[in-house]
Amino acid sequence: MSEAGQLNTEYISRINKTFDYIESNLEKPMTLAELAAVANFSKFHFNRIFHSIVGETPFQFIMRLRIEKAATLIFANKNESISEIAYKCGFSDISIFSRNFKNYFNIAASRYRKEKLQISNVSQPDSNTHQPDEKPTIYFCPDLQTIKWRTNMKLNKSVEVKELPKMTVAYIRHIGPYKGDEKLFERIWNKLFSWAGPRGLIGGKNFKSLVIYHDDPNVTLEDKLRMSVCITVPPETKVDGEVGKMEIVAAKYVVARFELTARDFQQAWDWVYGQWFPTSGYQPDDKPCFEMYPEEPKDGKFIVDICVPVKPI
């Protein structure tokens, strides 16, 4: 790699560390000096460097993430007040939240919730009419002492809610459109495995490969969507360049296993949110969701676990 290329990947690495820090501390106040220290840049130049790479200043980026996170929670967590959600997303003043939300979405937060719920209530009967056999039913599995769901959804193999342990992952991040772009995913996977292979990081009993989705595609503009292609690694693993490292905290997830072709992924995600969640007694929790791949794809088909953090309604 040329010297210019090495410098570019080093800058991307430092900005990715800033992304991870912001995402982990979104509910807290942050200063420019604090973020510059995370990125190991001078506080006098950090703002300009961040803007040149991301296309937003650090505080424009933070504000957008907070507003988009609030929009997702306003719809998903119907029993929480808008004020509670605003505080959870880092706004100490509800009037500041309300003004910024309306500026971003051109609609008040209360109206946004009402309209989203109306759309959901209208579309749900249609979904049930066209797919009456896809509604999951709950049962208790005595062998595993756990609750599972039976489903006739043809792509689904199993559904259960379980605790997933803390995982350290190495990742390569993509910002921009990704839906249905098989070549993009293939290119990133090849790059990550080319880095991991010589370091002896591929395989083993607890090895996992996954894709983390940091943003809600129903809220965030396509060119701002963040996605990380990851493999699990030992916590002490050293990373460099565009390969970053982060922790996925231990939490309770719904883990829904599917057998999919590349064109089926959206249908599987829609089923989890549109069919499973409304009958489950759970709601999405406030953490990133991801796809986990327990097997190598064969004949154009993927075995994939869609993992969404959950909490009781």
Least confident of 89-98, 248-257, 272-281: 272-281
Residue 128 has pLDDT above 50, yes or no: no
**Mind listing the pLDDT tens digit for each residue in 230-268?**
999 999 999 988 999 999 999 999 999 999 988 899 899
Q: Please compute, for residue 296, the number of CA atoms within 13 A of its CA located in the half-sphere on the CB side.
A: 4
Strand 282-284 vs strand 156-164: parallel, antiparallel, or unpaired? unpaired
Q: What is the DSSP letter of 211?
A: E
What sign for the dihedral angle of Cα 69, 72, 74, 78?
Answer: negative
How far is C-alpha 142 from the chain's CA centre? Answer: 32
Q: Which long-range contacts (CB under 8 A, 24 or more apart) does 189-192 make?
A: 189/229, 192/229, 192/230, 192/231, 192/243
Residue 6 has pLDDT above 60, yes or no: no
DSSP state letters, 127-172: HHHH-GGG--EEEEETTTTEEEEE---TTEEEEEEEEE--EEEEEE
Residue 127 has pLDDT above 70, yes or no: no
Rounded Cα distance between 249 and 173, Å, is 19
Average pLDDT over residues 268-288: 88
Percentage of the chain lying above the pLDDT 90 cut? 65
> Please, which residues bridge with residue 174 across strands?
227
Class of residue 34 by CB neighbours under 10 A (exposed 0-12, middle 13-18, buried 19+): middle
Domains of the chain by start residue, with CATH:
3-113 (1.10.10.60), 157-312 (3.20.80.10)
Higher pLDDT, 112 or 136: 112
Residue 190 has pLDDT above 50, yes or no: yes
**Mind listing the pLDDT tens digit for each residue in 19-28?**
999 999 999 9
Residue 299 has pLDDT above 70, yes or no: yes
